[in-house]
Amino acid sequence: MSAGGSADGAAAGAVSSTMLLALGIVGGLLCIYVSGFLGDVVGPVIAGIGAVLAIIWGADAIRRVASYGLGTGVPSIGYMSLSVGVISALAGLSLATKLNIHMLGPIAGFVVAVIIGAIIAIVATKIVGMKIPIMLQCTIEIAGAATLSILGFAVAIAGSYDMMVVYEHVVATGFIAVLFIMCTMAIQHPFNACLGPNEDQLRTLKCAASTAFLSMTLVGLMSVTTGGLGWFVVFIVGLIGWIVSFRAFVLASCNDAASTKWAGLWPKVEQ
Amino acid sequence: MDPITLILFIAIGGIMIGAGVHFIPVGGAPAAMSTATGVGTGTAMLAAGAGLTGLITAATMTGEPFYIIGIGGAIGAMIMMGITMLIANLIYIFGVGIVPAASKVPVDWITKRNQEAYKTPGTEGHGVPVTSFVSGLIGGLLGGFGGGLVYYGINTAVNESTFVTDPAISIGLAAILGVGVFFINSVIASYNIGGTIEGMHDPKFKRIGTGALACAIASIVVGIFCVILTGGF
Amino acid sequence: MDPVTLGVVALMGAVATIGGAAEDLESDIGSQSNPNSQVQLAPQMGHLHRMINKAASGEPVAYGVWCGVAGAIAYLVMSLGMMPLIAIAMGACVAAFVHAIYTVTSHMGRIVGQSQFEQPLFMDVLTQSLGPIVGHGFITSFCIVGISYLMTIPLNGTPLHVFPLPLLAMLWGIALGAIGSSTGDVHYGSESEYQKFEFGGGTPVAIQGDIVTKAPLGAKNSMDVVNFCAKFGGPLTGFCFGLVVFFSFWNTVVFGVYGGIIVGIIIVILLIIMDNYLEVFARNKYGPYEEE
């Protein structure tokens, strides 16, 4: 339980959630598919950017559902959905191989995530009795974002969304676990970190972009042995994206703070 | 392994994990301030810590029959829970200077000791009393055994299928899916108890049936997709 | 029983003890996990402070990330042919960098998120605590990846464990985070934050949020917290994690699969007896709660 002062009720924001949803699904899927045609230098970068878009979308969905107060803190729904995401991503790739339709993989993973996410949310609201009106929609959204982010990064490491290649370079080496926990952190951290009565959607999204690009930088490092020059491009693009978004977040924070000080005591306030 | 057996392994494992979470005494943030009985962390967090320790010890038994892998996981999770609660009690007693006391019952179920008189007024108990301690061990047993079953089921299914031949891949798959099934069930169960519980003497414990049912449905669905994943349908 | 394997298991226990202690001290400086709810609550109750307010998820997930990243980088560097010790140190370095960034975002985010209570954003607090936080984090991820590496090297032909290095590092990181947040943090949350109230009682709901904000000299900061917790909470957390790692392998290594199971059950029964003894001791020594 994190004792936050966040208001109960739907969280409003400057950026429309529908736009972020569209950006996450279409952008994420498109980037993963397009990366297949672009060779091993540009391809991984595009896949990584797809994952970044999905993470930003997921962070916004977490923000909407966690504003209601889940009773167990913000991270819980994050790692539940990411677990759905990792299972769906792998199931999607396997299904495509089983049916022998190579192109089906990412979409199938996304659909599986929607199905599992929906059933878990229905179980949580109908059987367990959670009273959060947007639970269904948000769990589906976070699970979908989780699948796309894990798939995007896995494709960036393996260089292809072919099942065997992903299994060999991402599952057998254990990187899948790191992707799982890193995406969990990247998706649930922004809202958890910015929580409070003065939380602001734009600042949270800037934080989301910085965590997403940081993950992309790390993915760049992780693909050193598999890709040719691709890893370096992913690393550099991630690093530049991170610097830009992190700078924006720090500036926005210093701007919005009650006061920013480099020394001294707190001001006197009336009780 | 045929698909129905695999789904059964995952569903039974999931139910055990979900039921186990109900036994683990956690007080959430208030317990870290000695304001509530139980271990001072989140339900899903402690369950995950114990269960994943169980998964590590279960996997050292890879190659043994399923009950040995399950028991191996159960022992690992029980030892982790036991040592953690013992050290937590050491800190409560010598670092904070309080006597473990439950608030939901006037006398301890197992030792029949009075709890009310030892409780700080204005708190909902503190520390891990003996009933909560035993309850936590049962939670570790169920969670570790369930995690071991899920790991065994997926590892065997992948090994037997012609889909994947490299054992490194099947171990990696079984481990990450075990972690996934564990997290899903422990979070659903912790939603069911609303984040905190004192152990098996807590009135909230009566909701264990609901929690087990919820975990069963979720695990069966996950199990169906795990069948696809391991290459058979 | 094979003496080399047993020695490696003992070494793992010792390394885990150091890592566990460093983990708890890191979470005390950074005020991570559950006690942080009070640091979060304090400004709302009119108690402004100069503490770090780091909410980088719960400790288990956070340490899963740091150790997982360190493990992945170490695995890669080793596969490029570098010496394991250097590879693990490089992995821990990258993890420390990630740790620093998450610390900055969560501290700034949480403080700014409650600006309506006039809580200032102290940049000097952040810069002076960042070094110790990252340093302790480095020690922790180095130790965790170290024990995970010891589990994966083949001793006499078979390694202790079948999982790949990054996966093991992540799992142990999550387990360590769960242990750290449930043992050592109690010392910070119940005692260090409420030191001005009398020793020997829980924290009543009525005084929650009224944390200690002043030190003997000036404002209390997160360094004072770690000085306090390093004397009891940190070492005990390390001891706890060391025991967990040691007993996860010791029984099967010494007594085989079936003997190990029996020994494990005996250990669990011994733990119940010890806990009961401890409770009886506390009840006799302290007696029932007496109000002044």
Q: Is A1's pLDDT higher than 50?
A: no
Residue A8 lies in a domain: no
HEC readout, C265-283 = HHHHHHHHHHHHHHHHHHH
Q: What is the rounded average pLDDT for all residues in chain A? A: 87
Enumerate long-range contacts of B207-212, CB under 8 Å, 24 or more apart: B207/B22, B208/B19, B208/B22, B210/A127, B210/A128, B210/A129, B211/A128, B211/B18, B211/B19, B211/B21, B211/B22, B212/B15, B212/B18, B212/B19
pLDDT score at B228: 85
Phi, psi torsion values for B40, nearest 5 degrees: -85, 60
Element (H, E) at A260: strand A260-261
Contact between C70 and C142 (Cβ < 8 Å): yes
pLDDT score at B91: 93
Rounded to an integer, the average pLDDT of C4-10 is 90
Count of CB atoms within 10 A of residue A255's CB? Answer: 10
More confident residue, A16 or A154: A154
Rounded to an integer, the average pLDDT of B120-149 is 92
Please tell me the distance from the alpha carbon of residue A270 to that of residue C259, in angstroms, as a whole number.
66
pLDDT tens digits, one per residue of C276-286:
999 999 999 99
Rounded to an integer, the average pLDDT of A81-86 is 93
Please tell me the distance from the alpha carbon of residue A203 to that of residue A189, in angstroms, as a whole number.
13
Say what percent of chain B tops pLDDT 90.
53
Say what percent of chain A tops pLDDT 70.
92
* pTM, two decimal places: 0.94
One-letter amino acid of A19:
M
Best probe of the A interface among C39, C44, C65, by most A CBs < 10 A, is: C65
A268 CB-near residues (< 8 Å, 6+ apart): none
Residue A268 lies in a domain: no
The residues in C 57-116 lying below 8 A from A, measured between CB atoms, are: 57-58, 61-62, 64-65, 68-69, 71-73, 75-76, 79-80, 94, 98, 101-102, 104-106, 108-116
Residue A3 lies in a domain: no
Which residues are B124's β-sheet partners? Answer: B36
pLDDT score at C241: 95
ipTM, interface predicted TM-score of the complex: 0.93
Out of A2, A174, A269, name the one closest to residue C55 (CB).
Answer: A2
Strand, coil or helix: what is A70? coil
pLDDT tens digits, one per residue of A129-180:
888 888 899 999 999 999 999 999 999 998 888 888 899 889 999 999 999 9
Count of CB atoms within 10 A of residue B206's CB? Answer: 9
pLDDT score at A270: 57
Say what percent of chain A tops pLDDT 90.
49
Q: What is the distance in angstroms between the CA of the first residue and the CA of the last residue of chain C?
A: 58
What is the pLDDT confidence band of residue A3, given thresholds at 50, 70 and 90? Answer: very low
| Inter-axis angle of helices C3-29 and C233-286, nearest 10 | 80
Out of C46, C69, C110, name the one closest to residue A269 (CB).
Answer: C46
Strand, coil or helix: what is A229? coil
Say what percent of chain C tops pLDDT 90.
55
Please tell me the distance from the alpha carbon of residue C186 to that of residue C202, in angstroms, as a whole number.
11
Q: Is B3's pLDDT higher than 60?
A: yes
Q: What is the rounded average pLDDT for all residues in chain C? A: 90
Write down how long chain B is. 233
Domain hosting A222: range is 16-256
What is the pLDDT confidence band of residue A5, given thresholds at 50, 70 and 90? Answer: very low
Please tell me the distance from the alpha carbon of residue C148 to that of residue C146, in angstroms, as a whole number.
5
pLDDT score at A70: 66
One-letter amino acid of B23:
F
Contact between A204 and A186 (Cβ < 8 Å): no
pLDDT tens digits, one per residue of B26-41:
988 888 888 999 998 8
Q: What is the rounded average pLDDT for all residues in chain B? A: 90
Best probe of the B interface among C183, C241, C257, by most B CBs < 10 A, is: C183
The token pair at C146 is 């170290």
pLDDT score at C54: 86
What is the pLDDT confidence band of residue A84, given thresholds at 50, 70 and 90? Answer: very high
C235 CB-near residues (< 8 Å, 6+ apart): C21
Residue A186 lies in a domain: yes
Chain-centroid distance, C-alpha B200: 13
Chain-centroid distance, C-alpha C245: 14
3-state helix, strand, coil in chain B (%, to 5): 70, 5, 25
Residue A271 lies in a domain: no
Q: How many domains does chain A have?
A: 1
- Dihedral, B105, B110, B112, B118 alpha carbons, nearest 10: -60
pLDDT score at A72: 66
Q: Is C176's pLDDT higher than 90?
A: yes
Which residues in chain B belong to E strands, given as ranges? none
Best probe of the A interface among C57, C106, C116, by most A CBs < 10 A, is: C57
CB contact, 8 Å: C214 with chain A? no
Rounded to an integer, the average pLDDT of B68-96 is 94
Q: Is A60's pLDDT higher than 60?
A: yes
Q: Is B161's pLDDT higher than 90?
A: no
Please tell me the distance from the alpha carbon of residue A128 to that of residue B190, in angstroms, as a whole number.
10
Among all chains, which residue has been given the structure tokens 């369950």? B47
Please tell me the distance from the alpha carbon of residue B175 to that of residue B161, in angstroms, as a whole number.
17
Q: Is C267's pLDDT higher than 90?
A: yes
More confident residue, B231 or B137: B137
What is the pLDDT confidence band of residue C1, given thresholds at 50, 70 and 90? Answer: low
pLDDT score at C247: 92
Count of CB atoms within 10 A of residue B106's CB? Answer: 10
Strand, coil or helix: what is A135? helix
Residue A252 lies in a domain: yes
pLDDT score at B100: 92
Residue A266 lies in a domain: no
pLDDT score at A8: 41
Rounded to an integer, the average pLDDT of B170-180 is 90
CB contact, 8 Å: B4 with chain A? no
Contact between B100 and B106 (Cβ < 8 Å): no
Rounded to an integer, the average pLDDT of B75-101 is 93
Give the residue from C225, C173, C261 showing the smallest Cα distance to C31: C225
pLDDT score at B233: 58
Please tell me the distance from the alpha carbon of residue C248 to that of residue C141, in angstroms, as a whole number.
19
Measured between alpha carbons, how far is residue B13 from residues A1, B7, B153, C142, C196 in Å? 27, 10, 9, 33, 47
- Could you tell me the sign of the dihedral formed by the alpha carbons of A234, A240, A243, A245, in that order? negative
Please tell me the distance from the alpha carbon of residue A237 to that of residue A226, in angstroms, as a whole number.
18
Out of A2, A88, A128, name the one closest to residue B214 (CB).
Answer: A128
Residue A267 lies in a domain: no
Rounded to an integer, the average pLDDT of C141-163 is 89
